[in-house]
Amino acid sequence: GAVVSQHPSWVICKSGTSVKIECRSLDFQATTMFWYRQFPKQSLMLMATSNEGSKATYEQGVEKDKFLINHASLTLSTLTVTSAHPEDSSFYICSAYQGARGANVLTFGAGSRLTVL
């Protein structure tokens, strides 16, 4: 089945630094990927839709200058949390549709747990 690989699985950083999270589709091409954030005991909240070769589409309330998304190829999207602060500590999960093979089934990466000190 389709596999979405996410790296790193966890990261700890100091306040004010930037962190990059990678999301790769391993056996399929993904023109669109989605980035979610999940705080403890809460559901997934869509942050942005990453579009290959064009600008990402951000959900209301998500700062595009803070959460930089780059989708430079059909298999890779990156999320950079710039000038991270403790309130950015969360579980970040990317996802992609399998496309024609899998109808509109969304496959998730394993997630990246960010802790900002």
Partner 1 sequence: QKEVEQNSGPLSVPEGAIASLNCTYSDRGSQSFFWYRQYSGKSPELIMSIYSNGDKEDGRFTAQLNKASQYVSLLIRDSQPSDSATYLCAVNPAAGNKLTFGGGTRVLVKP
Question: Rule CB under 8 A: which residues touch partner 1?
Answer: 32, 34, 42-44, 46, 49, 91, 93, 97, 103-111, 113
Nearer to partner 1, 30 or 81 (CB): 30
Token digits of residue 34: 């989605």
Shortest separation between residue 35's beta carbon and partner 1, angstroms: 11
Distance CA 89, CA 85 (A): 7
Nearer to partner 1, 34 or 67 (CB): 34
Shortest separation between residue 57's beta carbon and partner 1, angstroms: 9
**Buried (b) or exposed (e) across 68-93, using 16+ Cβ within 10 A?**
bbebeeebbbbbebeebeeebbbbbb
Shortest separation between residue 75's beta carbon and partner 1, angstroms: 18
Give me the phi and psi of 88, to 5 degrees please. -85, -5
Nearer to partner 1, 32 or 89 (CB): 32
Shortest separation between residue 16's beta carbon and partner 1, angstroms: 27
Nearer to partner 1, 38 or 82 (CB): 38
Q: Would you report the helix, strand and coil content of the chain in percent, each value rounded to 5?
A: 5, 50, 45
Distance CA 37, CA 6 (A): 14
